Amino acid sequence: MAVPLRPLVAALCVGLVATLFTTAPTNARAEAPSDAEAWTVSAAPGAPRARIALDEDTGAVSLAVTRGGRTVIEPSPVGIVTESADLSTSLRSLGRTDRQIDERYRTKSGKRLERRVRMQETRLSFGTAAGDRFDLVVRASADGIAYRYVLPAGSGDVLRETSAFNLPPDADAWLGTYRADNEGQFTQYTASTAPTGEYSDQALFATAGGYTLLAESDLTGAYSGARLAHDQGSGTYRIKLADDRVDAEGQLATPWRAMVTGDLATVTRSTFTDDLAPGSKVTDSSWVRPGSVLWTWLAGGREAGQSLAAQKSYVDYAAERGWPYEAVDAGWYYKPGEWETTDPDWQTNSWMPELVDYARDKGVGIVVWIHHRDLDTPQERAQWLPTLERWGVKGVKIDFMDSETQSMLQWYDTILPATAEHHLMVDFHGSTIPKGIQRTWPHVMTLEGVAGEEKRTNTAAHLTTLPFTRNVIGSMDFTPGAFQRVGLRPNSDAAETGLPVVYESGLQMYAGTPESYDARPLAREFFDQLPAAWDDTRLLSGKPGKEAVLARRSGERWFLGGVYAGAAHTAEVPLSIGSGQWLVETIRDGADGLVRKRQVLRGGETLGVDVVANGGFAGIACPWRPGVTNCAR
């Protein structure tokens, strides 16, 4: 489907900003300003509180965040510079409106399917003596603070933001070095001792007011992606855009600068970045079905991708396991022995229709890998997407975008409605990170944007940090389950078994070989039972870089996953999954392989698990009644 880029972007942008500018004020929960030059915004007592201040001498605007009277973000600069004006200084207040947001929506995947959004929104208008102006829109909820700039038509292109986040210098910080593919390793520093450089905007800090994850939401081709620029010795993290200039046509609403804030359990469970994003643009999403996927890249590589016989054998295994999908990675449409050249007659020569038919007869759907460069023109999209739909392919894994520039984000704006039109679920690799995309486009099942199972440099500390950073903001295609990569992964088999619970993904791509699963029947049985969509998520215990134990509920069963970094020990996990008695099955590392233990515990009691060095565990908890001996379904 050929979709003109600029008209689409302009229409979306104008519609959004028109809505923003015409919102009528309502009765406000936000507090009245303490004086003419300061305003506070909060959703409820005890929730994070934003204080916006206008300096009377410089005319500069700052924003600070507290929680429970304690510092989260110190007063930080707010402002934006366009072709026509520097809107970071010499400003005066032009007015304020307030409204309450109360919404419900349902997702296809994620930490929980049913969502409730309650936010307080305050819009503050600022202008210069020359007549230039912008609105600062601030939203506050129980788990975060966010703001965006709204610029009227005629403001010109955006040259930069002066936005920054000032953290207490001694705040603990978990940062991922910025990479275009968002696959940097997370490392712990303090806010001031982190080396000079650029970091991913999914940065986690621990302050007196609790934990805060910096993030971005509602990023489209109307703007550029952001990263954090930092100078060692300072607690300041500045917003740096991917482009030197953002092309702005007409009115503009920038992405949200978000601060997910609370205790660690609140941050981990938060859906704040999704809640900020626009509602679904897919009218009928009944064809979108999360599920487990047998992924064949680490299992067989490009050679397997070029072999119909190999792919049929993988389909057979997925069908035997009851896994709903099998993913065919790179190689299936290349000429044998080549990597960079596609076959111009791929539609005629491909064996993919035969594989799709074979898999359909066995109750397995096919997901196919495709390079971004083969979908980057209207002609290519018109050739590929209808063909894949006609064959019966269920989803596409699109790879190697490796950019958050405005032009690439405009490509996302085009490929998202096009894949939805052709009923193709999407897994983005070499990509941006979620940033609210899964609420707006629910057929986006997962995104990479992570140093995942393919990496040979991952550490156990990195694995225990991801649930509190990258995976907070949306589905993460880590591709767990690569049991065959002994020595290439930093964790134990029991920890690997628990990863599909610790890491949420709408398409959970299992990276092992059939032989590696068969050699570990307890892990295989656990994977067979795992859903890919959850009714609820809870953090049972955790500390970034040290441990992460999550519980995710499907129906009345809770699935447990724990990963640890450090020496062998007995982990004590609060079973905070509800009252009553629970049959708890855990899979642990034993002397000769994985072992299972069953015990009955009451909700709130402590689950003790022996963990090997850099190990972990997996488990299932189901309500116990007389006669219940296992949690299998």
The catalytic site residues sit at: 399, 454
| Residue 125: C-alpha distances to residues 60, 65, 67, 92 (Å) | 13, 20, 25, 9
Q: Distance between CA 48 and CA 42 in Å, rounded?
A: 6
For the chain, state the CA radius of gyration. 25
| Of the candidates 512, 449, 523, 520, the residue with the CA atom closest to the CA atom of residue 480 | 512
Which residues lie closer than 8 Å to 34 by C-beta, 6 or more apart? 40
* DSSP string across 90-112: S-EEEEEEEEEEEEEEE-SSSS-
540 SS3 class: strand
Q: Which residues pair with 124 in a beta bridge?
A: 96, 136
- Tokens representing 36 are 């003419």
Label the pairing between strands 172-176 and 204-207.
antiparallel
Q: Distance between CA 209 and CA 68 in Å, rounded?
A: 7
The DSSP code for 156 is: -
Question: Taking the CB of residue 102, how many other CB atoms lie within 10 A of it?
Answer: 8
| Of the candidates 486, 632, 508, the residue with the CA atom closest to the CA atom of residue 559 | 632
Q: Distance between CA 231 and CA 234 in Å, rounded?
A: 6
Q: Distance between CA 250 and CA 14 in Å, rounded?
A: 7
- C-beta separation of 484 from 88 below 8 A: no
- C-beta separation of 274 from 439 below 8 A: yes
Q: Distance between CA 362 and CA 584 in Å, rounded?
A: 33
The DSSP code for 23 is: P
- Tokens representing 405 are 């520039």
Counts of helices then strands in the chain (DSSP H, E)? 14, 36
Q: Distance between CA 527 and CA 530 in Å, rounded?
A: 5
C-alpha 316 chain-centroid distance: 32
- Tokens representing 103 are 């919404």
Q: Distance between CA 100 and CA 42 in Å, rounded?
A: 11
- Tokens representing 588 are 């642990």
* DSSP string across 512-535: --HHHHHT-HHHHHHHHH--SS-S
| Of the candidates 466, 417, 406, the residue with the CA atom closest to the CA atom of residue 444 | 417
Q: Give me the residue label for tokens 């799709």.
A: 356
The DSSP code for 274 is: H
Q: Which residues pair with 173 in a beta bridge?
A: 189, 205
Q: Give me the residue label for tokens 């035997």.
A: 320
Q: Distance between CA 221 and CA 355 in Å, rounded?
A: 36
Q: Distance between CA 555 and CA 327 in Å, rounded?
A: 27
Which residues lie closer than 8 Å to 36 by C-beta, 6 or more apart? 93
